[in-house]
Amino acid sequence: MIKKILIAFFCVAAHGLFAQNGTISPYSYFGIGDQRDNGAVDTQMMGGLSMYGDSIHINLGNPAAYSKLRLTAYTAGLSHKEYRLKTFTEEQNTSVTNLDYLSIGFPIARNAGFGFGIMPYSSVGYTLNSIAQNSSGAEVTNFYEGSGGLNRLYASIGFEPIKNVSLGATINYNFGTLEYQRIQSVEGVQFGTLDDRESRINGYDFKYALNYTPTIKDKYTLYTSVLVNTQGNLVSKNTETLGSFSIANGNNVEVVDVNLDASNLRNTEIKIPTRTTLGLGYGEDKKWFVGAEYSFQQMSKFENAFLGLDNVTYNDASSYALGGYWVPEYRALNGYFNRVTYRAGLRYDVTGMTVNNKEINNFGITFGLGLPLGANFSNLNLGFELGRRGTTDQNLVEESYFKINLGLSLNDRWFRKVKIN
| Residue 416 predicted with pLDDT over 70 | no
Domain count for the chain, please give it. Answer: 1
For residues 408 and 287, give the distance between their C-alpha atoms in angstroms, rounded to a whole number.
21
| Residue 17 predicted with pLDDT over 80 | no
Give per-residue pLDDT as tens, 323-342.
999 999 988 778 899 999 99
Give per-residue pLDDT as tens, 158-178.
999 999 999 999 999 999 999
pLDDT number for residue 19:
43
CA 219, 222, 223, 226 torsion: positive or negative? Answer: negative
Query: If you average pLDDT over residues 145-168, what whole number do you get?
Result: 96
pLDDT number for residue 106:
95
| Residue 358 predicted with pLDDT over 60 | yes
pLDDT number for residue 375:
65
Query: If you average pLDDT over residues 378-394, what whole number do you get?
Result: 95
In which element (H, E) is residue 218 found? Answer: none
Give per-residue pLDDT as tens, 50-82.
999 999 999 999 999 999 999 999 999 999 999
Q: Which domain holds residue 177?
A: 2-412
pLDDT number for residue 335:
85
Q: Is residue 421 part of a domain?
A: no
For residues 177 and 409, give the distance between their C-alpha atoms in angstroms, rounded to a whole number.
30
- Residue 216 near residue 256 (C-beta atoms within 8 A): no
For residues 420 and 266, give the distance between their C-alpha atoms in angstroms, rounded to a whole number.
64
Q: Is residue 319 part of a domain?
A: yes
- Residue 63 near residue 158 (C-beta atoms within 8 A): yes
Q: Is residue 350 part of a domain?
A: yes
For residues 312 and 103, give the distance between their C-alpha atoms in angstroms, rounded to a whole number.
35
pLDDT number for residue 52:
94
Percent of the chain with pLDDT strictly greater than 70: 93
| Residue 353 predicted with pLDDT over 90 | yes
- Cα of first residue to Cα of last residue in the chain, in angstroms, is 24
Q: Which of 371, 360, 363, 362 is nearest to 405 (CA)?
A: 371
Give per-residue pLDDT as tens, 172-200.
999 999 999 999 999 888 898 999 999 99
What is the CATH classification number for the domain harbouring 371? 2.40.160.60
| Residue 12 predicted with pLDDT over 60 | no
β-strands 220-229, 232-246: how paired? unpaired
Q: Is residue 417 part of a domain?
A: no
CB atoms within 10 A of CB 254: 9
Higher pLDDT, 416 or 410: 410
Q: Which of 317, 289, 287 is nearest to 301 (CA)?
A: 317
For residues 298 and 414, give the distance between their C-alpha atoms in angstroms, rounded to a whole number.
42
pLDDT number for residue 343:
98
Distances 282 to 67, 221, 223 between C-alpha atoms, Å? 19, 6, 6
- Residue 309 near residue 35 (C-beta atoms within 8 A): no
- Residue 177 near residue 196 (C-beta atoms within 8 A): no
For residues 296 and 314, give the distance between their C-alpha atoms in angstroms, rounded to a whole number.
13
SS3 10: helix
Query: If you average pLDDT over residues 240-252, what whole number do you get?
Result: 86
Reported confidence tier of residue 89, pLDDT bands at 50, 70, 90? confident
Q: Is residue 399 part of a domain?
A: yes
Q: Is residue 420 part of a domain?
A: no
Give per-residue pLDDT as tens, 277-288.
999 999 999 999
pLDDT number for residue 21:
63
pLDDT number for residue 79:
95
Q: Is residue 400 part of a domain?
A: yes
